[in-house]
Chains A and B, each alone.
Chain A
Amino acid sequence: MFVLNRFNLFITGLSFVLILNGCSFSDSSGSISDSIGSVSDSSSSISGGSTKYESDVEDYTYAYLKSTSGTTDYADFQKGLSDIAKKRGISDWESDEHTYEGMGKALKKAGIEGVGYETYKKNFANSDTTKMKQIQHGYDSKD
């Protein structure tokens, strides 16, 4: 009887531990949904289109602005942008207006105004007037 009780206790304890172990682990090779036949494959992530890309740029830029104190490392920022664009099938993100629209929206969301805004706008756009206009458009379009 004692042995049986110990066994029951063991099973209950083990079950509890397994039930508690409620975390999915991330496979470095990528999600199952990246597979060649899955619905959520790379082509469908590309097909999210420009809206998704712009939204990612906005979120990334906003997070970057919120977590950067002091001098902004623009090269590091641009590397992050390249990673986002890469997932969407865009190599030349500098020629994509959605990149700058997204940045503009993020600047507005972060509440950056005045000289601070103008400095970011100029640096993000590398002083290119067309890109600065795109940033401004994104900024103005954000509620």
Chain B
Amino acid sequence: MKRLWTLLAVLLCNTANADTFQYLYIEANEGSSSGGHVAVQFGDEVFHYQFKDGLIRLFKQDAEGFRFDYRVLQNRTLHVADVEVSAATFSLLQDHFKLIFWQQDRQFKQLQAAEKDRQLLEWLLRSHTALLSSRQISGYIPHPSPFPEGEGIFKLPGAGLFFNDSDFAPVAGQLTEPHGGCQTDASAKTLLTTLRTQLALQHGNGFLQRRKVELTTAIQHLSAVTNGTNDYRFSERYTDLLNGLLALRVIEETRPLTSDTCHTLTGPEGHLDPQKTERLNKLQQQLMQSAQNLAVSKRPDWGYALLVTMSRLVALQQTLQSGQWVFVDDFSAESTVIEAEDMMRFADDLSVQRQKAETVWRQQWQVLGNTELDEQHYSQLEVSANRYHEWLVSNNRQTLRYHGEQALPVKAINLPVIALPEFSSQQLQQALDQQVSDAQQLTQQLEQHYAYHLLTRNCVTEIFHTINQALGAETQQRLGGVIDEHLNIVPFTAFAMVKASYPVKHITVLPSHRQQQLAKQYEQEFPPLVYARESNVVSASLYDYNPDDAWFVFFTDDALLLRPVFGAINSVAGVGQSLFGLVKSPFDDGQLLATGIRGLLMSLPELAFINMRKGSYKFLSPDSASQENLPGQ
């Protein structure tokens, strides 16, 4: 009775100025979150806790992408509970999730920076004697890079747009330069000479030299000791200052882009009419102003921003001069690459994506004349152009960079030794000891707060913990019930608790991609025939084998009664893959064996009527998914 009154009070209170957030339960499948997953959605943003490096962290994702990931690619059914609350409650919850997200983000970045400090100091200490003997602070004489080849933990993002590692090799020709068709000598000369002249006009003739001395002195006097209030760490300061020095060097030497930094979209498409040319001219003026501002900026990472801005200015100049689109390559070095074998296997899915990339690129440059072009829009155009270009060149190269385009180019080089902090061995050792202790302390703190635990701290418990924390003593009053995070640890049962405890206005079930397609087939064809054909991976028309899935024979999500039988057969498939993997393990580092064991483990619960095997889709695009199956539907 008491609960009824509370719910009534919540409903009456909420009707006046109501808002709705969503609690999402994502069904289980093989792979990550094998027991299901949960999330909350406020507006177009989804918050969910994920496991990373032994810790459980809050992640923020746009709702469209989240639903596409889980519902289409991971082929899981989503259950969405619309929870109606007052606008004030909605704000309290949303603000708290955002607050936790940004606070965690900062904490994890601090740990990352402390770890980088330690590594840099260790390296400096190791190389101290050799470096001191060869150091020449003034000028830009290349020094031997003491970082062992391939170690490359310290990269200078953006510097690779104008420099190669070979530019800083101790012996000329020691490192081979990458080859590409990016020839921007004339454009860079025109553009960067103008920039240099402008800077001289504004700040005097010796500006570049003065700024270089300023930066070099700052590097020499860098302190490696943190004072507790300083979160901008030593390694970040050092790399930022180095990037500043290199950016100034680009202006000084009017350096062109490196030969593999840009590409041209040749052909009739992308013709520049007078209107588009005018837009690009305006953008160029805007970026030129940005470059001048950045050269004197006090923000710590102005060097990287200046390198990016200059690279785009050069690409724009090249575009305007040649009348053909030239763009900076915006793929990161860590981009996921699809090899020829997968390109052939998933040719149908990939061709849909290729078509989409072309359409998006064409649409974007065609509307260019009608809209104002600012840096953000240009970034969008650059990403689309890169994507389309990647599909074009993949035909000849037989590989495709699939993940990894960046909104700002990040092409990096290894840390060049052009200026060094002046530390004695004793200072280095002292700083290193402190950094080790700092890093340990930070790690302990994070483990204490965020260590993952199957039963006490998982994605379910943390969602309820955050909700209860946000509303505090008012949780009961604002939500009509308090869900104890200690007692609700399983995604499936937690969803039932949400339905029973919170003012849930509506439940929506969004079937997985395969289920959606299957329903259509049932409507259009003879159902028993559809069932027989689609129940197994051999004859299914709705599923092509995805190598990310462990071997299985039967889908068990729509076979409740037969599930144990199908599960037994799937288990045998898992055993088979494990044995095959065992034989192959010397050649693939045991990857196939691990997948086989995973498949076996995922099939065993099916013997107890618990569905796991649904299959997943590696390269499906929204265009090839049905209209009803699109995210957000």
Residues of A within 8 A of B (CB): 8, 11-12, 14-15, 17-26, 28-50, 53, 59-60, 62-64, 66-67, 70-71, 73, 75-76, 78-80, 82, 86-92, 94-95, 126
Partner of A37, one of B103, B301, B357: B357
Given A23-B35, A78-B301, 10 more A-B residue pairs with CB atoms under 8 Å apart are A22-B458, A23-B459, A26-B59, A37-B619, A42-B405, A47-B380, A59-B101, A63-B102, A73-B232, A89-B378
Interface size class of B (residues with CB under 8 A): 35 or more
For B297, the chain A residues whose CB sits under 8 A away are 94
Q: Is B417 an interface residue (CB 8 A)?
A: no
Q: Is B6 an interface residue (CB 8 A)?
A: no
For B607, the chain A residues whose CB sits under 8 A away are 11
Q: Bound state CA distance, A92 and B299, in angstroms?
A: 10
Inter-chain contact A39/B383, CB cutoff 8 Å:
no
For A63, the chain B residues whose CB sits under 8 A away are 98-99, 101-103, 106
Partner of B231, one of A19, A26, A50, A76: A76
Please list 18 pairs of residues, one from A and one from B, whose beta carbons are closer than 8 Å in the complex, sorted by A's number. Answer: A15-B610, A21-B458, A23-B458, A23-B459, A24-B459, A30-B403, A31-B65, A38-B68, A40-B631, A42-B405, A63-B102, A73-B230, A80-B106, A89-B378, A90-B376, A91-B305, A94-B293, A126-B298
B625 to A, closest residue via Cβ: A39
Q: Encode B533-552 as 1/0 by CB contact (under 8 A) with A.
A: 00000000000000000000
Partner of B380, one of A18, A62, A89: A89
Inter-chain contact A39/B622, CB cutoff 8 Å:
yes
Inter-chain contact B301/A82, CB cutoff 8 Å:
yes
Q: Is B520 an interface residue (CB 8 A)?
A: no
For A80, the chain B residues whose CB sits under 8 A away are 106, 109
For A34, the chain B residues whose CB sits under 8 A away are 403-404
For B293, the chain A residues whose CB sits under 8 A away are 92, 94-95
Which segment, of B116-124, B466-474, B475-483, B485-493, faces chain A? B485-493
**Which B residues from 534 to 586 make CB contacts under 8 A with A?**
none
For A30, the chain B residues whose CB sits under 8 A away are 403-404
Inter-chain contact B622/A31, CB cutoff 8 Å:
no
Q: Bound state CA distance, A79 and B303, in angstroms?
A: 12
Q: Is B245 an interface residue (CB 8 A)?
A: no
Inter-chain contact A33/B106, CB cutoff 8 Å:
no
Given contacts A89-B408, A91-B309, contact A36 B35 (CB under 8 A): no
Inter-chain contact B298/A73, CB cutoff 8 Å:
no
For A8, the chain B residues whose CB sits under 8 A away are 608
For A44, the chain B residues whose CB sits under 8 A away are 62, 64-65
Across the A-B interface, the 10 shortest Cβ-Cβ residue pairs: A40-B65, A89-B379, A63-B102, A37-B353, A33-B65, A15-B605, A76-B231, A22-B35, A89-B407, A24-B33
Given contacts A30-B403, A92-B293, A95-B290, contact A64 B300 (CB under 8 A): no
Partner of B73, one of A17, A32, A43, A87: A32
Inter-chain contact B68/A22, CB cutoff 8 Å:
no
For A46, the chain B residues whose CB sits under 8 A away are 376, 379-380, 383, 407
Partner of B300, one of A12, A19, A50, A79: A79
For B38, the chain A residues whose CB sits under 8 A away are 22
Q: Is B205 an interface residue (CB 8 A)?
A: no
Min Cβ gap B632→A in Å is 9
Inter-chain contact A11/B298, CB cutoff 8 Å:
no
Q: Bound state CA distance, A44 and B632, in angstroms?
A: 15
